[in-house]
Structure 1
Amino acid sequence: MESQRVRLNLSFLNPFLLRSSKHRINSEPNAVKTGTKKSSMTTQESTTSYESDIESLFNQLDRNGNGYLSRTEFQTAIQSVNLPNSDDFIADLITEYTHNHRQKSNSSVSITKQQFISSAIKKERTIHKIFNKIDSNSNGFLTSDEIISYLSNIGISATDQDANRMISMLNKSSQTLNYQQFRAFAVLLPHAQLKYNLVWAWFEASFDANSDRKRSTPKVEHLKQFLAGGLSGAFARTLVAPVDRVVNQIMSGSSMASSSVRHAIWKIYKSEGFLGLFRGNTVTVFKKFPQKAIEFAVYDKLTRILINTKRNSQEMDDSLEMETPKVSNLERFLIGSSSGAASQSILHAFDVAKMHQSMGKQGSIIAVMIELARTQGIRGMYRGYVPSLIDTVAGTGIGFMTYEAGMQMYRNMCKRRPNGIEVTGIAAVSSAFTLTCCMPLAAVVKRMVAQGQPGVAKYRNVFDCVATVARTEGVGGFYRGILGVYLKIVPSIAFTFLLYDQITRKWAVGGTRRYSK
């Protein structure tokens, strides 16, 4: 099912919203804010009253009155508050309600009243906390000024018209909003979106699907995006650091390197100890963190720009039916290549220093870079930049394209989003295919960067390197150490995509917009 943003009539929720406004407006929210202690009787009565409110909401959503929420009824509730009606959004909610992580998104889903109430209770404290932050005067009502102030604090520019539209979306009979009305919207959000993006999601949902208003994002969103990409890359590469060092030696053609990964690891362990296996890993992490942060951030940003551009074109052409724009494989390749080019251009000098350090150059990464700059200048620090750029552009382009194609193929075949293990498998297959395509170029890059080191030949240029390897070693020379490359890169990339997927979902990176990708 395509992601849709459909504005439906809220009238079927109004009986609950109007009933809720008549009692307990100031009870729990202000009690939480002021830290007032309640007696056990008061707490019990409050809990009973709260469950009664949630049960009333369930009954309003259960339009056929059979005691279960069907998928259709669930979709109607989501559409009524203009939340994304995508398979992923519904799947996240279904997982929270049913605790079934393998639930097919298009299957017949029935959510019981108890499941709905239990899930809503778990969200209550978070909803209270956010409501109290918005309700600056603690009177139990949200006004347009309070909403504008809160949005401004999180980095979103909003007008009086925006705030009034947000209130009217949930309460058409007043210019203020009470806690129960606020909660009726909040319980329909997945927990991660509720925790990190509740008001942002409300702000986004208040706009019509065809609104051309440019909306800002919370200021913390860019930091979350950067950290998610950086942490996933850094942790994944640390796991394979020992194999990484050995493979670099083998692929560079060093005469000091052993012919097999196993023997090389044992040799390093015997001569340098356990920590010797991680020599140069600080540089790897130092480079991989910003590299993956830049790649994922640029990829997501360019993808959203492309989707928005296509959506705007649809809106301008009345002959086209509105639907979520598709991103083709070629477009994903070009976007992925652009993200790789951006990161490589910024960080290539770290690659050169890392290679020299792994080949025996003494000193910290900073010391190695200073030495390179002093003895070889900027040209030395960017030695092998052109082939490295080509290798990175090809690798990231093919990598992102095949990963996204694999994810889409899985969705089409299994009718659901892949779980963590399945994401890892898709990423592993994607990375193996990418490596097979790019291995010859990667071998040339490493030889160009490592030339001048003991036991490594010197080449006049890239073409001389290719010709020399082909003449002296044959095709096998370009695939030297291929097993080791698979051992270090395939799990590294697989874990990177897995961690990025899990972190961005856990932190709700992208807000509800992520469900329309």
Structure 2
Amino acid sequence: LHFLNLLCSVPGAAGVLVGHPFDTVKVTIYFFFPNHVDRPLYRGTFHCFQSIIRQESVFGLYKGIGSPMMGLTFINAIVFGVQGNAIRRLGQDTPTNQFLAGATAGAIQCVICCPMELAKTRMQMQGTGMRKSSTVKLYKNSLDCLTRIYKREGLRGVNRGMVTTLIRETPGFGVYFLAYDVLTRTLGCEPEDPYMIPKLLFAGGMAGIASWLSTYPVDVIKSRLQADGVGGVNKYSSIADCVRQSVQREGYMVFTRGLTSTLLRAFPVNAATFATVTLVLIYARGGDDCPKDCESAPLAQPTPPPVQQAPPTQIQPSSL
């Protein structure tokens, strides 16, 4: 498991480096649009990119990257470890069980995900709209950000947005693993297939997109609650109040704000993560039995072993 997490952290780190600028743009659009509904500061994703680079240099796109980099290995370990063990407990590898196992993993990893995203969001908002020559900085880094929030607000402040994070991550990861399972079974990702890696990349990328589409409105509210208070004033008293004010000021289109940059980021990041995990699991088994263990069950059922050799809790094989 440690070896798997180490290998997963390499493409994961590369995914964060590629995807973080898109996340910064998404959070910036979330935060600034409500304050400038009549005259938006940004005309869209590409214009927001240009504005941040012009005002803060390219490094402005990477504000807050320390937090997801630090939490990457822990989150991967929790998500894939819990999901794998949950499938074993459920006893059968079916699409429904993939959803349940993924939802369980998503709920448990919120313990790390929520504070990590709080620090990331606060760092991303720091200095936004200021020139790169500005020296006004409230936080030195992500760890300093969490330390200051803890001293000022305690554990409740560090876990700001935990409820919305749970509401987003629980079904989100369920859809994530369900979509990947269905796609790999449909595409047929057998190890001997010369197009296996492109298929895995496609399935992982599309699973990431499906996951974000299923919970994106909740992410809008979560990010606004976590960014609330950056300027010293809290605008929202609760989740319901944030939803009410957002819809009242911007209409129901508020729940698609920043969706373009999110989907552009989702495909490459999740394609790399899922493909790496699956390939490591395939080749870590080694030997002649590897292809059998990795076949998609609906496409090619393996020859059942003798009854006396099969453990009573044997689960149905899948691509993951």
Question: Which of 238, 242, 258 is the equivalent residue of 2:17?
Answer: 238
Amino acid at match of 2:228: Q
Within the alignment, does 1:283 sit opposite 2:67 as a pair? yes
Within the alignment, does 1:337 sit opposite 2:121 as a pair? no
Q: Which residues in structure 2 correspond to 1:130-141 (within 5 Å)? A: none
Quote the residue 2:47 is aligned against.
263
1:465-507 CA distance string (max 9 Å, x none):
1222222212100111111111112222122212322344454
SS of the equivalent of 1:240 reads helix
**Higher alpha-carbon deviation: 436-445 or 230-239:** 230-239
Shift of 1:301: 2.0
Within the alignment, does 1:419 sit opposite 2:228 as a pair? no
Q: Does the C-alpha gap of structure 1 residues 429 and 456 become closer, same or farther in structure 2, counting only changes over 3 Å?
A: farther
Given that residues 303 and 335 in structure 1 are in contact (C-alpha distance below 8 angstroms), is that contact kept between their aligned partners in structure 2? yes
* Residue-pair matches, total: 277
Q: Which residues in structure 2 correspond to 1:254-403 (within 5 Å)? A: 255=35, 258-307=42-91, 326-360=92-126, 361-403=138-180
State the distance in 1 between where 2:51 and 2:232 align: 18
Question: Which of 404, 418, 432 is the equivalent residue of 2:209?
Answer: 432
State the distance in 1 between where 2:181 and 2:10 align: 21
SS of the equivalent of 1:447 reads helix
Q: Which residues in structure 2 correspond to 1:456-475 (within 5 Å)? A: 458-475=235-252
Shift of 1:452: 1.1
Unaligned runs of 5+ in 1: 1-221, 308-325
Within the alignment, does 1:476 sit opposite 2:249 as a pair? no
Question: Which of 477, 497, 509 is the equivalent residue of 2:274?
Answer: 497
Given that residues 224 and 507 in structure 1 are in contact (C-alpha distance below 8 angstroms), is that contact kept between their aligned partners in structure 2? no
Question: Which of 22, 26, 31 is the equivalent residue of 1:247?
Answer: 26
Amino acid at match of 2:96: L
1:111-138 CA distance string (max 9 Å, x none):
xxxxxxxxxxxxxxxxxxxxxxxxxxxx
Shift of 1:418: 5.5
Amino acid at match of 1:241: H
Q: Which residues in structure 2 correspond to 1:195-206 (within 5 Å)? A: none
Given that residues 230 and 290 in structure 1 are in contact (C-alpha distance below 8 angstroms), is that contact kept between their aligned partners in structure 2? no
Amino acid at match of 2:70: F
Unaligned runs of 5+ in 2: 127-137, 295-316
Q: TM-score, normalised by structure 1?
A: 0.49
State the distance in 2 between where 1:368 and 1:408 align: 43
Shift of 1:371: 0.5
State the distance in 1 between where 2:102 and 2:233 align: 32
State the distance in 2 between where 1:259 and 1:503 align: 42
Identity score, percent? 22
Amino acid at match of 1:237: V
State the distance in 1 between where 2:47 and 2:266 align: 19
Given that residues 30 and 220 in structure 2 are in contact (C-alpha distance below 8 angstroms), is that contact kept between their aligned partners in structure 1? yes
State the distance in 2 between where 1:253 and 1:297 align: 38
Within the alignment, does 1:224 sit opposite 2:8 as a pair? no
Given that residues 184 and 199 in structure 2 are in contact (C-alpha distance below 8 angstroms), is that contact kept between their aligned partners in structure 1? no
Given that residues 233 and 288 in structure 1 are in contact (C-alpha distance below 8 angstroms), is that contact kept between their aligned partners in structure 2? yes
Amino acid at match of 1:301: N
State the distance in 1 between where 2:74 and 2:9 align: 6
Shift of 1:403: 0.8
Shift of 1:338: 0.8
Shift of 1:514: 5.2
Shift of 1:388: 0.7
Given that residues 357 and 365 in structure 1 are in contact (C-alpha distance below 8 angstroms), is that contact kept between their aligned partners in structure 2? yes
State the distance in 2 between where 1:428 and 1:286 align: 23
Shift of 1:508: 4.3
State the distance in 1 between where 2:256 and 2:172 align: 16
By relative contact order (CA 8 Å, sep 6+), the higher-ranking structure is 2
Q: Does the C-alpha gap of structure 1 residues 471 and 291 become closer, same or farther in structure 2, counting only changes over 3 Å?
A: same
Amino acid at match of 2:153: Q
Instruction: Please report the RMSD computed on the Cα atoms of aligned residues, expressed in angstroms.
Output: 2.8
State the distance in 2 between where 1:499 and 1:391 align: 25
Given that residues 71 and 112 in structure 2 are in contact (C-alpha distance below 8 angstroms), is that contact kept between their aligned partners in structure 1? no
